[in-house]
Amino acid sequence: MDPVLPLAGRCVLVTGGAKRLGAAIGRRLHAAGADVVVHYHRSAGPAQALAAELEGVRPGSALAITADLRDVEQLPSLVEAALGRYRRLDVLVNNASTFYPTPVGTITAAQFDDLVGTNLRAPLFLSQAAAPALRRTSGLILNMVDVHALRPLREHPAYCAAKAGLAMLTRSLARELGPEIRVNGIAPGPVLWPERDLDPQLKREIVAKTALERVGSPEDIARTAYFFAAEAPYVTGQILAVDGGRSL
């Protein structure tokens, strides 16, 4: 393995990989030599643009593929696409997520199914589909959890419950899939604000309650993903908070 490109010859699948944190992770692991499968649902334009960008750096090194992660029947196709193109799968990043408020008294079954479906059910069933391929490569499953898996966020009980389930799933899969597969998680804090408008005063309050008193960046998360993928062969079942001390 090229020490300059420690992930050369390896294949990474990133769900929700077209934008935001998913795109940052894909770019960072690609820069380390990995081939990247960019999953998207509705973000076809950004996904195709990212794949083209990565292909421009290293031809044949990126693929964009669509699937609705809430449909469990579609999940094996993502693994099949990676294997069909690259003949292997080394890292699965369960990054895709839905996030919006569900105040008690307004929660609908559809909202609950959506939030649990993307944040918990999809990571479980996609990990299950990917496990045979990951066993062959002594691979890694990396779940994007949230500091609010342990510290509830007001008006987001369904989302927080789903992420809490993902935190336990991370540890459970580490137990179930070892010794061949490592399973770890990243719990971001205030790194990117939600795409919907957020009250400026609320932003200031969040930053003030963060030990480092500043917002992080997608690159902070991407570097952590790189650590787990390339520099942590003896780490499994761990969830690393990358939150500037927000969870303290």
Active-site annotation, residues: 159
Residue with tokens 């992660």: 69
Nearest-angstrom CA–CA distance, 100 and 157: 10
* Residue 37, burial from CB neighbour count under 10 angstroms (0-12, 13-18, 19+): buried
Separate counts of helices (H) and strands (E) for the chain: 8, 7
* Structure tokens given for 1: 């393995």
* Cβ atoms within 10 Å, residue 234: 5
Residue with tokens 């987001």: 156
Nearest-angstrom CA–CA distance, 27 and 219: 10
Going by the DSSP 8-state scheme, the letter that residue 152 receives in this structure is P
Identify which of 26, 70, 74 has the alpha carbon closest to the alpha carbon of residue 162.
70
| Side-chain half-sphere CA neighbours of 37 within 13 A | 27
Which residues make beta-bridge pairs with 13? 37, 92
